[in-house]
Amino acid sequence: MQQEIHSHYVLHKPYGYLSQFINNQNKRKNKKLLGELYNFHKNTMAIGRLDEKSEGLLLLTTNGKVSTRITSHKFEKEYYVQVDGVITDNAINKLQKGVTITIHGKPYHTKPCVVFRVHDLSDYPIKQRHVRDERHGPTSWISITLTEGKFRQVRKMTAIVGFPTLRLVRVRIGDIKLDINIGMVREVKQL
């Protein structure tokens, strides 16, 4: 019996792209899709998603079993988050312990997670991007590492503690780190 050959990819998703190949959202026809970045093999799917305004590490595969393994085994996902204002120790403490957000109209208490301030972005290929005018006040960066992935969870978490997300970049999934520039794709043997 011949083993089926699958393709796997690591992508640095740019801001403004949907994590999909077909625009099934009837809101606007001119959405940017992943297929514009690279000539992916047929039946490639994103493993998890990043919303249109989020950037960073996205894994893709043609193997549904790999996708299920990664999404269902609670791999750590680390995000660098630029927030509005200089985040306080109190807000970081609350995020670490878990906060109550709304998911599908119902309250949900997030699991404890790892959160700390980030002063140096040079560990990952994150380019400066203008998110707002400096006259609107300072911003700060934090790292949040989760083992869950609810809809817009990180954005809801930072907002609930008083520091809304201005920019969200996923930098790690499990042991796979973001190590390629924005818009770049690397084909890998396995995930």
Q: Which residues are catalytic?
A: 51
- φ, ψ of residue 77 to 5 degrees: the values are -125, 120
How far is CA 143 from each of CA 17, 95, 159, 183, rounded to the nearest angstrom?
22, 11, 15, 22
Q: Is residue 54 packed enough to be buried (19+ CB in 10 Å), middle (13-18) or exposed (0-12)? A: buried
Q: State how far Cα 3 lies from the chain centre.
A: 32
Q: Could you say which DSSP state residue 17 is in?
A: B
